[in-house]
Amino acid sequence: MDCEGKIMKELRVENVTKNYGDVKALDKVELTVNPGEFIAVMGPSGCGKTTLLLVILGALKQDKGHIWINGIDVDELPLEERNIGYVPQEFGLFPHLNVYENIAFGLRVRKHSEVKIRERVNDLLLTVDMEGLESRKPKELSAGQKQRVALARALATEPSVLLLDEPLSSIDEATKAEVRVNLKAIQKRSKVTTLCVTHNPEDSFQLGERIALMHSGKIIQCDTPQNILDNPKLIAPMYILWNKRE
């Protein structure tokens, strides 16, 4: 059984716990990402947000609880069968491959025909506004361009879920606002269910349709940005003080 799919799939995290010795990295985490929704998971370093991402991806095994994608329990599926797109913090592009071949990589692994690969890669080059740059190597790209290529590569296999790990941490402040807009537009065009982890309040409030606030391995509050500002729970003021600055 696999969770192969196109777009608009629900992701559900059910009572997930992960321990590292005596440290509870995830403590009975509950979270549902609706089909096509963009949720930002925000919290300080060490709160468990990256562990959550890796458990969903299948790179880590939880101690308790379940991960569901489109109603399928994927706990026993290996990473390569979960049909999840993943963009790591440093983008993870292959330096020896050009833009076209980076985007095509997952399709080649799955042994798609060259006609299918060319059609899909060309479509994605248009989606991420990288047409005409397909022959460039990663070292010839700006951080924003690298991010777009990494997104295109993650989307190439039409994943059910897209996971983003600190997607703007490598982007300089001068261009970050523009990159946020591009990232959100690409996610909307692809209609892929997306979970993004970040420690940055501005990124969370600009990108997330809802924000899940994490602290000490728990999701304390999950709500729209406006509701979090208007009705903060427990630790929310730690994060919104930044957002309310004059």
Cβ pair 167, 179 in contact under 8 A? no
- CB count in 10 Å sphere of residue 30: 14
Pairing mode, if any, of strands 64-69 and 23-33? unpaired
Helix axes 143-155, 173-190, angle to 10 degrees: 20
Over residues 50-73, the mean pLDDT reads 96
For residues 153 and 43, what is the distance between their CA atoms, to the nearest angstrom?
27
Q: How much is the mean pLDDT over the chain?
A: 88
Q: Domain coordinates of the chain in residue numbers? A: 11-243
Q: What is the pLDDT of residue 239?
A: 53
pLDDT at 77 over 80: yes
Q: Residues with Cβ < 8 Å from 212, sequence gap 6 or more?
A: 31, 39, 40, 41, 42, 219, 221, 222
Q: What is the pLDDT of residue 201?
A: 87
pLDDT at 237 over 70: no
Over residues 24-46, the mean pLDDT reads 94
pLDDT at 234 over 90: no
CATH architecture of the domain 11-243 equals 3-Layer(aba) Sandwich (3.40)
Q: Work out the pLDDT band at 208, boundaries 50, 70, 90.
A: very high
pTM score: 0.88
CA-nearest of 149, 130, 144 to 181 is 144
